Amino acid sequence: MKNQKGFTLIEMIVVMAIIAILGSAVYPRISGYVRANNESFRASQEYAVNKALVQYYALTGKYVTGKYGATEYLTTAPSNELSNAHADAMIAELNYKTGAMLGNAAGEYKYIKIEGSDESGKVDIRKVRVELN
């Protein structure tokens, strides 16, 4: 029986205990990275939704309503021509406290003032009034 090779039960328990200690030391650090990544993803999604809402308002003059968003569909193909109309505008700069700077394909820019924000920059979407002047 002395020539048998392998690990004893005690050796296996010691190795498992070491792995558990290392895992408990590494887990909080990894979960912090995951949490930060999720927060970053959420912030980028929030920015994209806000940008889409402002662009939709610039195109239609009203905000999306209803549970699933806009019910207006394209009836003609979009035009890619240079235009002075701000319906072709894309957001060039966005400041949550004051408004958005829109630019069109012709290189013209228009500032949209967003009123209704508080000191923290949070905007109650029900109180937003956009001036296109």
- Please give the pLDDT value at position 78: 55
Q: Is residue 106 part of a domain?
A: yes
Q: Is residue 20 part of a domain?
A: yes
Helix or strand holding residue 33 (H, E)? helix 9-60
* Pairwise CA distance, residues 96 & 103, whole Å: 17
Number of domains observed in the structure of the chain:
1
Q: Is residue 1 part of a domain?
A: no
Q: What residues make up the domain containing 70?
A: 9-131
Scored b (16 or more CB within 10 A) or e, 23-35 reads eeeeeeeeeeeee
Q: Is residue 122 part of a domain?
A: yes
pLDDT (tens, 9 = 90+) of the chain, 133 residues, equals 567 788 899 999 999 999 999 998 888 888 888 888 888 888 888 888 888 888 877 887 777 665 554 455 555 555 555 444 444 444 444 444 455 555 555 556 555 555 554 555 555 544 444 444 4
Q: Is residue 3 part of a domain?
A: no
- Please give the pLDDT value at position 88: 42
Whole-structure pTM value: 0.33
Per DSSP, helices labelled H in 85-127 are none
* Pairwise CA distance, residues 133 & 123, whole Å: 20
